[in-house]
Amino acid sequence: MTAQIDERLQQAKRVCQQNGQRLTPIRAGVLQLLLESEQPLSAYELLAHYQTKHVSGAQPMTIYRALHFLQQQSLIHHLSSRRQYVACDHPHTHAAHRLTQLLLCDECGHTQEVPLEPHLSEAMQNHAQAHAFRLKQTELELHGLCAHCQQSEKEPSHV
Ligand SMILES: [Zn+2]
Ligand SMILES: [Zn+2]
């Protein structure tokens, strides 16, 4: 494990403590897999990695529960449109930072999180509330092309 990932796991532990929760070894193990991955992963991929690297007999339900927990602590995000999960490196502790924006490249799968400005996040939450709507998902998924893929789109193909 790199020092950077270790540091982020320690940080996650503190976030859980502040919320009166505990980052158990299973939860930490799943989070570590997402921190180590450069791409978002599906629950199935996480299960396979977890079985290879941690506990060979791990059950799907265990992974789903850990993912649900990590999501509730805003340590990871769920990309519903892709059925994948991605680790989060931004603070979501304050209500003003609850909503977040995820830019998804439909070409290469690249995912980038760009947190909404607090006033936008608050305005959107207030609008939902004004319509008596209770928010459950806090990820706004925007689909498009990343800078890299826009570039290769312009270049003629050499195939
Ligand atoms: Zn986030
Ligand atoms: Zn791309």
The three-state (H, E, C) secondary structure of 88-150, written as one string: CCCCCCCHHHCCEEEEEECCCCCEEEEECCHHHHHHHHHHHHHCCCCCCCCEEEEEECCHHHH
Q: What is the pLDDT of residues 26-73, one digit of tens each?
A: 999 999 999 999 889 999 999 999 999 999 999 999 999 999 999 999
The pLDDT of residue 156: 67
Ligand 1 mean position, distance from CA 117 (Å): 13
Q: Counting ligands in written order, which one lies closest to the CA of residue 147? A: 2
Share of the chain above pLDDT 90, in %: 77
pLDDT of the residue at 133: 95
Interval 127-157: pLDDT, tens: 999 999 998 888 999 999 999 999 988 776 6
**Burial tier of 61 (Cβ tally within 10 Å: 0-12, 13-18, 19+):** exposed
Q: Is the per-residue pLDDT at 159 higher than 70? A: no
Instruction: Enumerate domains of the chain plus CATH numbers.
Output: 1-89 (1.10.10.10), 92-159 (3.30.1490.190)
Cα–Cα distance between 71 and 86 in angstroms, integer? 10
Distance 68 CA to ligand 2 centre (A): 28
CB-based contacts of 70, cutoff 8 Å, min separation 6: 27, 30, 31, 34, 76, 85
CA distances from 70 to 12, 58, 133, 157 (A): 9, 17, 24, 42
How remote is the CA of residue 138 from the centroid of ligand 1, in Å? Answer: 9
User: What is the pTM (predicted TM-score) of this model?
Assistant: 0.87
Ligand nearest to the CA of residue 107, numbered in listed order: 2
Tens of pLDDT, residues 74-124: 999 999 999 999 999 888 877 778 889 999 999 998 999 998 888 999 999
Report CA(105)–ligand 2 centroid distance (Å): 5
